[in-house]
Chains A and B, each alone.
Chain A
Amino acid sequence: MAPSLLQRQLLRVRNGVPYYAGLKRAPVAQTPRDLVWQRDTARLWRYRSHDRKYAPPVLIIHSLISQAYILDLLPDNSMVGFLVDEGFDVYLLDWGRAYPADAQNTLETYVEDYIPKAMAAACAFSEADELSLAGYCLGGVLALLVAAADSGPRIRNLIALTTPCDFSELGFLSQMFVEGRLDPADVIDSTGIVPARALDQGFQSIKPTDAVVQQVNVLQNLWNDQWLTGFIAMNKWTRDQVPLPGAVFRQIVEILVRDNALAKGTVPLGQREVSLGDIECPVMNVFCRRDEIVPPRSATPLAGLVGSEDVTELCLESGHVGLVAGRQAAKVSRPQIADWIRARSDKPQGSARRTQHPKRQKPRREASDDARSARKAAR
């Protein structure tokens, strides 16, 4: 039963004091996981599971400009948690927080070094020779480039989650960097990275009234504990941008924004060019109708560029983040993504591949072997 007007006022006071004092925290990234590989600031997490039913494993590549916990936002609102519960063997490649030592990282660093090694480590840990690769936002671009470059273990399925393809249609964020406006050097600081503050200002500019609207929404819903927890988690994430290495930012502007190379289907990578037409595995392209960061018209050209005969498009009635966290995610996107991967995965013969209960899990020796084989494979 909904609380009365008086009860709501009392609840507002009870929740408002800790909220405005900054004492209220949201329990983000709670799904139990193990660190299985790391290189510099990149970390590969494997999520624990009682019951891994499907092979190959699913590796999710997160974006370079935001924190990866959006994919595991809250215990009851978690993309990776959902996939784990559905029986998938889930890995998350988290880029961490770039700092000056990462300033010279280029697209090649990620596409030809970090990601293939992380993929090899995931395959070694899961004793698989292929995997399903998913990428969120800019992580989707990296996943596409890895698939096109064929620079890692075999990719069984490719899932692009709100992945920009035609950068000329990105709107504000790309239009600010067309010739004659801002140059990469204008936002790269003296340590060679794009500060998180600059990225935050860019995202805030897209919705100028958002700060005011949010505060009014908070006042309206302050009495509702569940709403407030969700809001705090999401608000924490939206303002929690991470710095971006300057060298990769230069390439994004020059190759992807100004040349719009991805929309043309061919992207220069190191000494060669990679073509999206070389992607022949099944591809799922998921985008959102109300996405202001990656509008549908930026994401849809992908289907016509990949060489795969099995291409599925899923358009959701949500915003950029609603795809992985939120009501639309829970009702539509997560189940449909899981169904799509499941239909293109194997169910191991006999009983499902099981792992020990997390509390009893003591994989010291096995982990040691796994780690060794992962390290060998990653080389």
Chain B
Amino acid sequence: MPFDVVERPVTSSSESWVQSNTFMDGLSIAWKLQQRLRVELHRGLSLWFGVWNLPSRGDVNRVSNQLANVERQLRALRAQLEEDEPEAGDSKRRPATRRDRG
């Protein structure tokens, strides 16, 4: 098939190119630049949103991180409780199995 004739050399040379130091150095610089631009863009947008009293992505991330902290504390408390829980406490628990079919 004509596609295979073109595809095989293109694929093998592109895969070799991807594994080369030149490509990986270039990609890491491009990635860092992209991240930097993204941060600057979000900073600008959040200033603009702030003018209109609208929540920005940074605000959402802050709330998300606060919730994550609360959840981590809950997890630690639950682990502590499970360690301290007397054996008798287990009788109140219900079965832990749940069925699933995909």
Chain A nearest Cβ from B1, distance in angstroms: 8
B40 within 8 A of A: no
Contact status of A181 and B28, CB under 8 A, knowing A36-B96, A37-B96, A375-B90: yes
**Inter-chain contacts of A104 with B (CB < 8 A):** 72
In the complex, the chain B residue whose C-beta lies closest to that of A44 is B96
Contact residue among B61, B68, B90, B99 (Cβ-Cβ distance under 8 Å from A372)? B90
Interface string of A176-189 (1 = CB under 8 A from B): 10000110001101
A371 within 8 A of B: yes
In the complex, the chain A residue whose C-beta lies closest to that of B71 is A101
Interface string of A321-341 (1 = CB under 8 A from B): 000000000000000000000
B52 within 8 A of A: no
Q: Which one, A55-63, A146-154, A201-209, is touching chain B?
A: A201-209
B90 touches A376 (CB 8 A): yes
A45 touches B102 (CB 8 A): no
**Inter-chain contacts of B32 with A (CB < 8 A):** 182, 186
In the complex, the chain B residue whose C-beta lies closest to that of A219 is B3
Interface residues of B in 1-54 (CB under 8 A from A): 3, 7, 10-11, 14-15, 18-19, 24-25, 27-28, 31-32, 35
A100 within 8 A of B: yes
**Inter-chain contacts of A363 with B (CB < 8 A):** 97
Contact residue among B15, B83, B96 (Cβ-Cβ distance under 8 Å from A367)? B96
**Inter-chain contacts of A187 with B (CB < 8 A):** 31
Chain B nearest Cβ from A371, distance in angstroms: 4
Interface residues of A in 228-252 (CB under 8 A from B): none
Contact residue among A30, A209, A367, A375 (Cβ-Cβ distance under 8 Å from B102)? A30
Q: How far is the CA of A367 from the CA of B96 in the complex (A)?
A: 7
Chain A nearest Cβ from B35, distance in angstroms: 6
Contact status of A34 and B100, CB under 8 A, knowing A99-B68, A104-B72, A192-B65: yes
Interface residues of A in 345-379 (CB under 8 A from B): 363-364, 367-368, 370-372, 374-376, 379
**Inter-chain contacts of B95 with A (CB < 8 A):** 364, 367-368, 371
Interface string of A208-240 (1 = CB under 8 A from B): 110011001000000000000000000000000
Q: How far is the CA of A305 from the CA of B57 in the complex (A)?
A: 47
A205 touches B90 (CB 8 A): no
Q: How far is the CA of A364 from the CA of B71 in the complex (A)?
A: 30
Chain A nearest Cβ from B99, distance in angstroms: 6
Contact status of A35 and B19, CB under 8 A, knowing A103-B68, A191-B68: no
A34 touches B18 (CB 8 A): no
**Inter-chain contacts of A208 with B (CB < 8 A):** 14-15, 18
Chain A nearest Cβ from B41, distance in angstroms: 14
Q: How far is the CA of A212 from the CA of B35 in the complex (A)?
A: 27
A304 within 8 A of B: no
A216 touches B3 (CB 8 A): yes
Contact status of A40 and B75, CB under 8 A, knowing A206-B18, A208-B18, A209-B14: yes
**Inter-chain contacts of A207 with B (CB < 8 A):** 11, 15
**Inter-chain contacts of A100 with B (CB < 8 A):** 64-65, 67-68
In the complex, the chain B residue whose C-beta lies closest to that of A177 is B28
Residue of A189, A292, A368, A370 ringed by the most chain B CB atoms within 10 A: A368
Contact status of A32 and B15, CB under 8 A, knowing A182-B32, A190-B61, A364-B95: no
Contact status of A375 and B93, CB under 8 A, knowing A176-B24, A209-B10: yes
Provide a sorted-by-A list of 14 A–B residue pairs whose CB atoms are within 8 angstroms: A36-B97, A37-B96, A101-B68, A103-B68, A104-B72, A175-B19, A182-B31, A191-B61, A191-B65, A205-B18, A207-B11, A212-B7, A213-B11, A371-B96
A-B complex: 7 closest residue pairs judged by Cβ atoms: A371-B96, A100-B68, A101-B71, A181-B28, A35-B98, A368-B95, A367-B97
Question: Interface residues, chain A, CB within 8 Å of chain B?
Answer: 27-38, 40, 45, 99-101, 103-104, 171-172, 175-176, 181-182, 186-187, 189-192, 205-209, 212-213, 216, 292, 363-364, 367-368, 370-372, 374-376, 379
* Known contacts A31-B102, A99-B68, A213-B7, then 19 further A-B pairs from the complex at CB < 8 Å, ordered by chain A residue: A33-B101, A34-B100, A103-B68, A172-B19, A175-B19, A186-B35, A190-B58, A192-B65, A206-B15, A206-B18, A208-B15, A209-B10, A216-B3, A216-B7, A292-B15, A367-B95, A367-B97, A368-B94, A375-B93
Question: Interface residues, chain B, CB within 8 Å of chain A?
Answer: 3, 7, 10-11, 14-15, 18-19, 24-25, 27-28, 31-32, 35, 58, 61, 64-65, 67-68, 71-72, 75, 82-83, 87, 90, 93-102
